[in-house]
């Protein structure tokens, strides 16, 4: 049984805590938050769990084996470092850290101490993402042409991070999981309108072999959209995460250029066949992720969302931020 | 009665011809196409109209008052120049020309000769675009924050122009009509996958006062999307051109930041009220455009889609192309 | 403070209990269920509440002021009668009773004892239904032409009631609330396919003044639909309860016949204007309903979903059942 | 080459004429309409075709081999009878006749004279209906449970037929084609609101083996719906005719009852798997229908939409009308 402490009991912390609580491999030992109001709610829901107001205590206590750091991103590095130094496995909310060098330092520290780092890229554990990965891996889509993601709605304005750091970690972590190639360069544009932080942004990522990825994130949209297109040589898919049932639609559509019969006559073949919506596993992602955390700790294996995955997402966010400041100038990775 | 010749009888030419034919102000005098097959179809549909295989004839004939140049873009400049030199009013398919300097030369020539140039930005004459312009002009939306346009589907591959020059002229001409400000700079990214011409592209246009516009065009999408979001300070709208009935939805949604109560406490007000889909005029756009052409010729007035409008779109396409070649590097306008 | 007991802790009971628990006017005193497993769950969630396995106890205890009977419909009458005889206000799950004479008996008993009956027609307390009632009452729709409701999906098969008694109480209670006229007659058809109970049914209800209502309920639909159309002389509306945001759309559409210019020439005027989606109150319906229960008890007022409302719904179900058995033969009300 | 005359050049006649005109097996010889305005339009479009104002001429002329009767339903019988008596094959707009006895008389006459009757049930020639028939015939759906059709919108009011005779022939002809069983009985309800003719109607048709069909038709709906559900033991499908691309969606969903473990414990198995949208043939239905007419005449074969099919639809309409007058009372077939 792994004793775990959850640090930060705001919006996401209670969900993480609940999943630790109901896991048969983990024991929720402590909940920590500096706000008395948060602790009062926590103690009502978990009367038998220790309540702490000082994170230091949770991060250093000998009774704790692992900590889940579910706090604002600017606290991640210090909390994570202290936890690792004290021999604790860590679960860190995304984005992993504020800088890629912080991420590297944590990864190295964990390596030395043989500890597990898990970055909470929850979407990797959804049935939809697992299914898309399967369709890519088994060559159903064929060679990939593009990845095009939109995540917009009238979103909660943050006071410390812009829309890129708030929303794009979801999509970058998914892309990183699905596309097993090294991105080459990134270009980002965006705009702030209200409080100095960008509330909408666009990002293009260039991959080798003519693969291109694009992201649109926006806190100022009147409608909610959560749609990703993945275009392949053989098939193309649309993932609409707002659909209750058919989240993924695979289209037997494509274009093939078979040569040219002269300057003006391209021999283009268009293909349009059936559409197919595969059944998607409905298991709660967070539950599967907690199981994976317990397994990784028990067996010393690396989870799919390990520190390196967290590092790769932060590196893209860093580069995108630099490009954004220069209105889209290309940043090599 | 204005005698008009239509040059080019491929996909769009027949539609233009039909609208001239049914206009009470224009007389369809000649149809010209170099392909015998096209002329055979034309003469079946218009037995009383003169059929010509040589554009020169139509462009110089003294019996013709105006010509509609509905041919590939690389022919526009030569045909338009010859027509103007021979004293004819011109209707030119979009994009107006291959380069902005060509556009300037044609505009000057028309000025000297007191002739009308109309660039076929058909969308400006749709009920939807007219309604959006009205909502912007009467300050229903308030100050504009952003313009976000998506035009994607499994499109016909062109052999001479990329997706930007094929699809974006629609959206750039609409944006140019709706936003009466000078764009400052442009950044574009994209990728070709099949025949060396970009089949998908993204474009960001920066305006003064934090207004930003973004465009996604794609020939390789499994689904057809024709959606534009316009975000304003007071209201936001979604224009879905694929909807049969409610094409425009105006949302009484918004965000207001009224100050800050400390470092971490933004005072943000979110507003969410009624949605409203105004009735949109269903008159055929091309019909209204032909009427406007006849009026402009008769009264010597400038149409909303005059040479200058054509020039502005070409200038954006030129700049976008340059940015595209450099993977998104900013091009000042 | 009103002491309340919840009898039945299956699917809906826990939701009712939670709303009593968080109400400032009610005190959740006891939870009763004959299944030990249900009580175990209940005592985990409400450690301070008395757990009872015998309904008799809850229905007769002098410490209880009101009981919520959230049990299968065939138990309602006996439980409700005993509760009223023991001076308790009652909240009864829908449908109120198995027969209209049972309903009448309970209503009379409550009258004699000055007790409140509330039948759990939850939908009456939703923002959507309140808004539709407002649009009817303030004559926005004008005289009503029809009411057309569809409630279908792959539903849970019941072992004791058919689809009409399972799903239609929702829609009949809503219709009864919206249309303040006396229905005249009813015709119902349907079919069973699997276990002898109808799994799909259609029902037409005739009102005076040419108003007609129709209902489709189905446990065997591959897709989920929750849509109601209300057609009026002046406007028509569509209520799609599955929409997250714009649940109600009001259409400025209609037809007017202004006479006839001869045998074949009807002078018909079609009107098609704006569509409008009014903002709908998002307060949880059950919360508002509990508040109303407390108010009714405190002030001796009749709730909108009183025993008489419950009676009217049961009477329609009874009549529909009779018609259903005779393949649609009309039953006068 | 079969010489054909089209009688009636209103809304549908021009479409039928165009398809005869472009057929390689038929020769459009004459167009007949009593309204001079209609004939003027026809002669502009078909300068080489004979224009007739008297139907008698077309129906009796020795130069005509076949006539298409595209006139109001109350004229069908007289025109069709005269045509058959004069040895002409007939194409008759739906519904075939006003009464089933008229239909019987025409069928017998055609039999005697070895002439082809084709009733214009156009939908039978659409890719969607052909695909659904295939899915039923090859047992993809399994035994059928139900057929549920909705065809509503703000429709054109007719002055001579109610909504049942206007809209339901589409759906009844489709159902008749898809379900190869004898319907047993019918119950219909409806209401008129404006001109004495029902503008909305509901209809239930009972088949053997617990198969049930239901139809909703409405001229007074603010939204347009063209949706049919077909529920089968093995799979269920939704046909949405307003979808541009995926018109048919096949759901691997179902319910199976495998016995009972006691009074309250039904052993119900719910199945929910992939959804699949088969590609549907996009050939214009009317074109395929004209081809079939020519084939039937040439080879003396019976088309799928022969007189008997027309008869079956009229018989259902007759029975539905009788039921409608008695507010849903069952009419045995």
The minimal CB distance from D145 to the residues C185, C193, C257 is found for C193
Q: Which two tokens stand for residue C51?
A: 């757990």
A151-171 pLDDT, tens digit each: 999 988 887 899 999 999 999
DSSP-derived letter for residue C124 is G
Q: Are A31 and A16 in contact (CB under 8 A)?
A: no
For A35, A169, B106, B256, C284, the CA distances from A156, given in Å and listed in that order, are 21, 16, 50, 12, 22
Determine the pLDDT at residue B259: 62
pLDDT digits (tens, 9 = 90+) for C151-174: 999 988 887 899 999 999 999 999
**C117-119: strand order across its sheet:** C50-52, C26-32, C2-7, C66-69, C89-92, C117-119
Which positions in chain B touch C280 (Cβ < 8 Å)? none
Look up residue A201 and give its DSSP letter. E
| Nearest by Cα to C293 from C65, C127, C72 | C65
From CA D117, how far away is CA B295, in angstroms rounded? Answer: 54
Contact C277 B279 (CB under 8 A): no
Q: What are phi and psi of B285, to 5 degrees?
A: -60, -45
With tokens 């390596």, the residue in question is: A111
pLDDT number for residue B45: 84
Average pLDDT, chain C: 94
Interchain proximity C274–B279, CB inside 8 Å: yes
Q: How far is B243 from chain D (nearest CA, A)?
A: 11
Task: Please compute the mean of the pLDDT values over residues D188-217 and round it to a whole number.
Answer: 96
Q: Do D154 and C237 touch (CB under 8 A)?
A: no
pTM, whole model, 2 decimals? 0.94
User: Of C248, C267, C247, which is closest to residue C258 (Cα–Cα)?
Assistant: C267
* B245: chain D residues, CB-CB within 8 Å: 224
Higher pLDDT, C45 or B311: B311
Q: What are residue D51's DSSP bridge partners?
A: D31
Q: Which fold has domain A124-284+315-332?
A: Dihydrodipicolinate Reductase; domain 2 (3.30.360)
pLDDT per residue as tens digits for the range C265-323: 566 778 889 999 999 999 999 999 999 999 999 999 999 999 999 999 999 999 999 99
Distance from CA of B137 to the nearest CA of C (A): 19
Kindly state whether C240 is in contact with chain D, defined as any CB-CB distance less than 8 angstroms: no
Nearest in space to D110 (alpha carbons), one of D310, D331, D330: D310
Neighbours of chain C (3+ CB pairs under 8 A): B, D
Residue showing tokens 């989240």: A247
What was the ipTM of the complex prediction? Answer: 0.94
C275, β-bridge pairs: B277, C251
Structure tokens at B204: 């960001």
C253 contact B CB<8A? no
Cβ–Cβ < 8 Å for A241, A167: no
Q: CA-CA distance, C303 to C121, in Å (whole number)?
A: 11
CATH number for the domain running over B124-282+315-332: 3.30.360.10
* Domain positions in chain C: 2-115, 127-283+315-332
Number of H helices, E strands in chain C: 9, 15
- Listed residue (B68, B70, B36) closest to B51, CA to CA: B36
Q: Smallest CA–CA separation between A295 and chain B, in Å?
A: 37
Contact A313, A96 (CB under 8 A): yes
**Which residue of C157, C222, C275 to mutate against D (max D Cβ within 10 Å)?**
C222
Neighbours of chain A (3+ CB pairs under 8 A): B, D
Using a CB–CB cutoff of 8 Å, tell me whether B51 touches chain A: no
Triad A274, D175, D321: Cα angle to 5°: 145
Q: Is the pLDDT of residue A141 over 60?
A: yes
> Which chains does chain B touch, 3 or more C-beta pairs < 8 A?
A, C, D
**pLDDT one-digit tens code per residue, D102-137:** 999 999 999 999 999 999 999 999 999 999 999 999
Q: What is the pLDDT of residues D251-290, one digit of tens each?
A: 999 887 766 555 555 667 788 899 999 999 999 999 999 9
Q: Are D319 and D333 in contact (CB under 8 A)?
A: yes
b/e B46-60 (16+ beta carbons within 10 angstroms → b):
beebbbbeebeebbb
Angle of CA points C177, C180, C181, to nearest 5°: 130
Task: Give the residue among D86, D84, D95 at the shortest CA–CA distance from D117.
Answer: D84
Total CB pairs under 8 A between chain A and B: 157
* pLDDT score of D260: 58
Which of 3.90.1260.10, 3.30.360.10, 3.40.190.80, 3.20.20.210 is the CATH number of C127-283+315-332? 3.30.360.10
Q: Same CATH topology for B2-115 and B124-282+315-332?
A: no
Cβ atoms of residues D161 and D308 within 8 Å: no
CB contact under 8 A, D257 and C157: yes
How far apart, in whole angstroms, are the C-alpha atoms of residue D2 and residue D29?
Answer: 9
Sign of CA dihedral A19, A21, A24, A29: positive
Residue D90 CA to chain centroid, in angstroms? 16
Chain C residues with CB under 8 Å of D229 CB are: 221-223
Residue A261 has pLDDT above 90, yes or no: no
- Nearest chain C residue to D232 by CA distance is C220
Name which of B273, B277, B279 is nearest C279 (Cβ-Cβ). B273
* Cis bond upstream, residue A18 (ω within 30): no
- Residues 6 or more apart whose Cβ sits within 8 Å of residue B270: A154, B253, B254, B255
A244 touches chain D (CB under 8 A): no
In the predicted model, is pLDDT for residue C259 greater than 90? no
C-beta separation of A88 from A64 below 8 A: yes
Chain C segment 180-209 residues within 8 A of B by beta carbon are none
Neighbours of B286 (CB within 10 A): 18
- With an 8 Å Cβ cutoff, is B140 touching chain C? no
Given a cut of 70, is residue C261 above it in pLDDT? no
Give the pair of three-digit tokens for residue D43.
Answer: 């002669």
Residue of D71, C11, B158 whose CA lies nearest to A257: B158
The set of residues, in sequence order, having a beta carbon less than 8 Å from that of C51 and lying 6+ positions away, is: C30, C31, C32, C39, C42, C43
Distance, first Cα to last Cα, chain B? 41
In this structure, what DSSP letter does residue B200 have?
A: E
Question: Closest residue of D to B242, CA-based?
Answer: D244
Is B159 close to A265, i.e. CB distance below 8 A? Answer: yes
Residue A50 has, within 13 A of its CA and on its CB side, a CA count of: 18
- CATH no. for B2-115: 3.40.50.720
Mean pLDDT, all residues of chain A:
94
When pLDDT is averaged across residues D199-228 and rounded to a whole number, the result is 97
Residues 256-285 of D with CB under 8 A from C: 256-257, 260, 263-266, 268, 270, 272
pLDDT at residue number D264: 53
CA distance C103 to C98: 8
Q: What CA–CA distance (Å, rounded) separates C59 from C76?
A: 12
Cβ D275–A272 below 8 Å, yes or no? no
């Amino acid at each position: 049984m792994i004793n775990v402490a959850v640090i930060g009991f705001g919006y996401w912390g209670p969900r993480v805590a609940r999943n630790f609580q109901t896991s048969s491999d983990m024991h929720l030992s402590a909940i920590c938050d500096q706000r008395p109001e948060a602790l009062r709610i926590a103690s009502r829901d978990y009367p038998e769990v220790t309540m702490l107001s000082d994170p230091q205590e949770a991060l250093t206590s000998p009774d704790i084996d692992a900590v889940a750091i579910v706090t604002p991103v600017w606290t991640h590095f210090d909390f994570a470092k202290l936890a690792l130094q004290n021999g604790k496995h860590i679960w860190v909310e995304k984005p992993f850290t504020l800088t890629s060098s912080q991420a590297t330092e944590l990864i190295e520290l964990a390596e030395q101490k043989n500890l597990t780092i898990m970055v909470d890229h929850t979407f990797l554990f959804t049935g939809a993402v697992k299914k898309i990965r399967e369709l890519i891996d088994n060559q159903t889509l064929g060679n990939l042409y593009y990845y095009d993601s939109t995540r917009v709605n009238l979103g909660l304005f943050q006071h410390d991070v812009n829309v890129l750091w708030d929303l794009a970690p979801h999509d970058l972590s998914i892309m990183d999981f699905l596309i097993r190639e090294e991105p080459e360069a990134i270009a980002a544009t965006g705009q702030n309108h209200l409080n100095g932080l960008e509330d909408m942004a666009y990002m293009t990522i260039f991959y080798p072999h003519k693969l291109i990825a694009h992201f649109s994130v926006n806190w100022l949209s009147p409608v909610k959209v959560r749609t990703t297109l993945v275009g392949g040589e053989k098939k193309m898919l649309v993932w609409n995460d707002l659909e209750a049932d058919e989240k993924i639609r695979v289209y037997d559509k494509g274009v093939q250029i078979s040569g040219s019969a002269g300057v003006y006559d391209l021999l283009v073949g268009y293909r349009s066949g059936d559409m197919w919506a595969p059944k998607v596993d409905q298991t709660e992602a967070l539950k599967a992720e907690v199981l994976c955390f317990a397994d990784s700790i028990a067996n010393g294996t690396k989870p799919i969302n390990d520190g390196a995955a967290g590092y790769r997402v932060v590196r893209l966010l860093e580069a995108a931020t630099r490009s954004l400041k220069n209105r889209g100038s290309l940043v090599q990775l």
